[in-house]
Amino acid sequence: MSKVTGTSRSFGAPGKYIQGPGEIQKIKEYANLFGENVFVLIDGFLFDITKNFLTLLWEDEQNKLTIDCFQGEICDEEINRIMDLVSDKSIEVVIGIGGGKTIDTAKVIANQINAATIIVPTIASTDAPTSAVSVIYHQDGSHSHELFHKKNPDIVLIDTAIILSAPSRLLVAGIGDALATYFEARACLESQSANFVGSGYQSTLAGRAIAKTCYETLLKDGLTAKISVEQQINSTAFENVVEANTLLSGLGFESTGCAGAHGLHDALTALPETSKYYHGEKVAFGTICQLFLENRPWEEINTVIDFCISIGLPVTLEEIGIRNTTEEHLMPVAIEACKSYLFQAEPVSVTKEAIYGSIMLANTFGRQRKESKKRR
């Protein structure tokens, strides 16, 4: 993580952000703003139904439309496979439809071929849609590196009718990812770490305000939004949380920076037992660890833990699949985390022992807090 190198500040954002029920019906209209030759990458889970829908929309221009199914992991091999598919088609617009990894892959392809980018999330589980960043993994699912693109998506189009139909666990995972935004922004500000827009820039007042609003929105509307999804009710709280998970968190992390919560997430991916848990679920636990690492006030830590418990986010290692809590098993995670550039954004001294200690404190107090609530 680079440090602020002067007084200049920066802010990154997509060209347009559009959210509401039924908005996907306008996808061709938006694509036409940028060109005729369109490539669409679709999440495998939604491929058949989405391909049929798009084929009908482009019924009279089938020769202008190329559709492919994302193969499940954003890795060099998958990126190269798709590049071979589109390299000779003069693609002007890339549309990514699906979850975070599908979206991040679409951003890579669009930037490599200099095409416009339209992102259509089908879940609100990450803040990937708005950013000019793609997180790259190895084929086995372990974290590899980040790619920083020259521009943000041109349009982010969110059909909340689709988001509402997804399992509530996905929305909650997005809340876990968004939960880190404010605390990581604060860490970066205190350590004078640069954001992800350019090189060496500090955050803007707008970026900091967005990060804070993101946290406040989650606390106020998070539980109601989860219940709304479970009951299939499109409430104001649900729409607010979709915006917080996607737009506020996306603008917040890119324009203010990331820190320990995401650094710990990346290290946790090295443990195979965590692979079935979502990005945001691991980030939520990482957020609690970050607060212990920074020795934040008890009131704040308890607020975060209690909120996570109320909506079903992990507050213990067992809840992200880690049952072996011995030092022998977890110290390698702390060692790996200590290597992460994201921990350079922490406003405190960071050692592998300090990270290990924060993991154990978060696990211990998370478990105690859950047990105390059960007894009430």
Closest residue by Cα to residue 255 from 351, 365, 130:
130
Domain presence at residue 4: no
Residues 6+ apart with CB under 8 A from 329: 322
Q: Cα angle at 142 between 139 and 144, to 5 degrees? A: 85
What the block records as the tokens of 180 is: 């880190």
Contact present, 204 and 10 (Cβ < 8 Å): yes
Contact present, 250 and 243 (Cβ < 8 Å): no
Same domain, 266 and 364: yes
Domain presence at residue 1: no
pLDDT, tens only, 207-254: 999 999 999 999 999 999 999 999 999 999 999 999 999 999 999 999
pLDDT, tens only, 125-154: 988 899 999 999 999 888 899 999 999 999
Q: Which domain holds residue 107?
A: 9-165
What the block records as the tokens of 361 is: 């404190």
Same domain, 151 and 202: no
Closest residue by Cα to residue 31 from 110, 131, 132, 116:
116
Q: What CATH number does residue 68 fall under? A: 3.40.50.1970
Q: What CATH number does residue 224 fall under? A: 1.20.1090.10
Q: Which amino acid, residue 157?
A: L
Contact present, 288 and 313 (Cβ < 8 Å): no
* Cβ neighbours of 88 (radius 10 Å): 7
Contact present, 67 and 42 (Cβ < 8 Å): yes
Same domain, 85 and 142: yes
In angstroms, rounded to a whole number, what is the distance separating the alpha carbons of residues 185 and 196?
A: 11
Last residue of a domain, one of 115, 142, 165: 165
* Cβ neighbours of 351 (radius 10 Å): 12
* Cβ neighbours of 19 (radius 10 Å): 18
* Cβ neighbours of 116 (radius 10 Å): 21
Q: Which helix (H) or strand (E) holds 199?
A: none
Domain presence at residue 2: no
- Please give the order of strands across the beta sheet that includes 93-98: 16-20, 155-159, 116-121, 93-98, 38-42, 65-69
Strand partners, 79: none
Residue-level pLDDT, tens digit, the chain, 376 residues: 789 999 999 999 999 999 999 999 999 999 999 999 999 999 988 899 999 999 999 998 888 999 999 998 999 999 999 999 999 999 999 999 999 999 999 999 999 999 999 999 999 998 889 999 999 999 988 889 999 999 999 999 999 999 999 999 999 999 999 999 999 999 999 999 999 998 999 999 999 999 999 999 999 999 999 999 999 999 999 999 999 999 999 999 999 999 999 999 999 999 999 999 999 999 999 999 999 999 999 999 999 999 999 999 999 999 999 999 999 999 999 999 999 999 999 999 999 999 999 999 999 999 999 998 777 6
Domain presence at residue 3: no
Contact present, 341 and 258 (Cβ < 8 Å): no
Same domain, 97 and 132: yes
Last residue of a domain, one of 131, 165, 199: 165
Q: Which amino acid, residue 112?
A: Q
Closest residue by Cα to residue 354 from 288, 290, 263, 274:
290
Same domain, 159 and 174: no
Residues 6+ apart with CB under 8 A from 137: 73, 74, 75, 101, 143, 144, 269
Same domain, 296 and 194: yes
Domain count, the chain: 2
Same domain, 39 and 108: yes
What the block records as the tokens of 276 is: 């079935």
Same domain, 238 and 127: no
Contact present, 336 and 270 (Cβ < 8 Å): yes
Q: What residues are labeled active site? A: 177, 262, 265, 279
At residue 239, φ and ψ (nearest 5 deg) are -60, -40
Same domain, 195 and 144: no
Helix and strand element counts for the chain (H, E)? 14, 10
* Bridge-based pairing state of the strands 9-10 and 202-203: parallel
